[in-house]
Every structure is written in structure tokens, then in C-alpha cells.
């Protein structure tokens, strides 16, 4: 009798593991795909002499992306929240030591895209272009 209870307990444990393991495996398989989704970057090239602070503007929210020193380039990461919410993003350039600024036209953002921002010495000549991700080109 004692042996039967022992075997029954192990059989119940084995059945429980058979149910739990596939569920745990499926939960683990979704986690890496979320972390491997590509981020969105702004590649800023500053052709001006002044260092510039670059901000992202979306729906009244302004977030700092970083600094681009004069006559150099930087790759700035756009916050995930701005990409996930969808909609358009504008880039705001604020050169340090200048009263002028540059606000781009709205840019439709999608994860994996890359935005090229070129800051000119004359801010009115600055440009923004969008390089679509490979998944959208087909």
C-alpha cells in the first residue's frame, strides 16, 4: 500500500511537470523576440561650429537625446516610448550659445528606422531624412 502511494505521488508530480514545462518554454520564447526588436536612432551630423543639444518632441512631450559637438557626428537613441506610442516625432536642435534653434517637420517613426539629422551653421539650411528599415522596403 505504501509503495502505491509513493508511485502515485511521483506520477502526479510527473503529470504536473508535463503540463508546466511547455507553458514555461512558450513564455521564455516570447521574451527574446521583445528584446531583439531594433531600436530607432537619430544620426546627427553637426556641420556648425557650435555644440548642439538635440531633443525629440512628440505630443507636447520633450525628451533630450544628447549632445553633438561642433563639426562632428553622434548616434543618438530615440526613447522606446516615443516609438511605441506611434505618431510623428519632431527634432529640436538647440545650439549652445545661440538664441536660434531648429525644429524639424514631423517625422513618422517606426521601430528599426534611422533618422539622419544634418545641422548646418545656418540653422535654416538644416535637414532631416528618414531611412526606412529593411522590413518596410519590400
Q: pLDDT over 90 for what percent of the chain?
A: 53
| Cβ neighbours of residue 135 closer than 8 Å, sequence gap 6 or more | 112
Identify the pLDDT of residue 33. Answer: 45
Alpha carbon distances (Å) from 17 to 4, 10, 114: 20, 11, 45
Q: pLDDT over 70 for what percent of the chain?
A: 70
| Assigned CATH for 41-133 | 2.60.40
Say what the pTM is: 0.71
- The string of pLDDT tens digits covering residues 79-125 is 988 888 778 999 999 999 999 999 999 999 888 889 999 999 999 99
Question: Average pLDDT, stretch 22-47?
Answer: 67
Amino acid at each position: 500500500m505504501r509503495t502505491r502511494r509513493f508511485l502515485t505521488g511521483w506520477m502526479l508530480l510527473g503529470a504536473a511537470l508535463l503540463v508546466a514545462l511547455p507553458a514555461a518554454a512558450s513564455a521564455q520564447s516570447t521574451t527574446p523576440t521583445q528584446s531583439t526588436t531594433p531600436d530607432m536612432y537619430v544620426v546627427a551630423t553637426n556641420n556648425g561650429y557650435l555644440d548642439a543639444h538635440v531633443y525629440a518632441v512628440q505630443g507636447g512631450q520633450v525628451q533630450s537625446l544628447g549632445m553633438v559637438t561642433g563639426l562632428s557626428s553622434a548616434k543618438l537613441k530615440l526613447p522606446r516610448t516615443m516609438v511605441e506610442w506611434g505618431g510623428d516625432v519632431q527634432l529640436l536642435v538647440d545650439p549652445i550659445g545661440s538664441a536660434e534653434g531648429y525644429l524639424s517637420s514631423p517625422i513618422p517613426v517606426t521601430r528599426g528606422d534611422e533618422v539622419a539629422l544634418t545641422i548646418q551653421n545656418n540653422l535654416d539650411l538644416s535637414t532631416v531624412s528618414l531611412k526606412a528599415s529593411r522590413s518596410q522596403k519590400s
